[in-house]
Structure 1
């Protein structure tokens, strides 16, 4: 398999949207073979996605993801 080149990887922790999962927002964690690893905001199991399906989250998406996490934390649903 030929080596896949990435224009520029985002820094770890950057919030990204995965179009193959309904624009699910996750923190960029790194590269695993041909895939990018993402983790839900606030923790949880990582998932892998094809880089072509990943884009930087918009300002509104970042705000929504962080607010949803903080609300769940305040309700005791996550730590």
Structure 2
């Protein structure tokens, strides 16, 4: 998912928190809440970039 209110930050959908959606960075880390109005599905390129970032973080021992 892409949060357009946060400079197109890509995250994985984790659930609903009241009126907001909980998203977690693909590389791991702290969840954030996003207004569903500002969230859209990631396109193929965005998903590929996020998965590459996850693999790079894992190889460097940074993945949570």
Partner of 1:67: 52
Structure 1's consecutive aligned runs of 4 or more residues displaced over 6 angstroms after TM superposition are none
CA RMSD of aligned residues (A): 1.1
Length-normalised TM-score, structure 1: 0.75
Q: Which residue of 1 aligns with 2:6?
A: 21
- TM-score normalised by L of structure 2: 0.91
How many corresponding residue pairs? 64
Gaps of 5+ in 1: 1-15
Task: Tell me the alpha carbon deviations over residues 23-78 of structure 1, each in whole angstroms, 9 at most, x when there is no partner.
Answer: 10000011111101000113211000110000000010000001011012112222
* SS, match of residue 45 in structure 2: helix
Match for 1:38 among 17, 23, 40? Answer: 23
Q: Which has the higher contact order (CA 8 A, sep 6+)?
A: 2
Structure with the larger helix share: 2
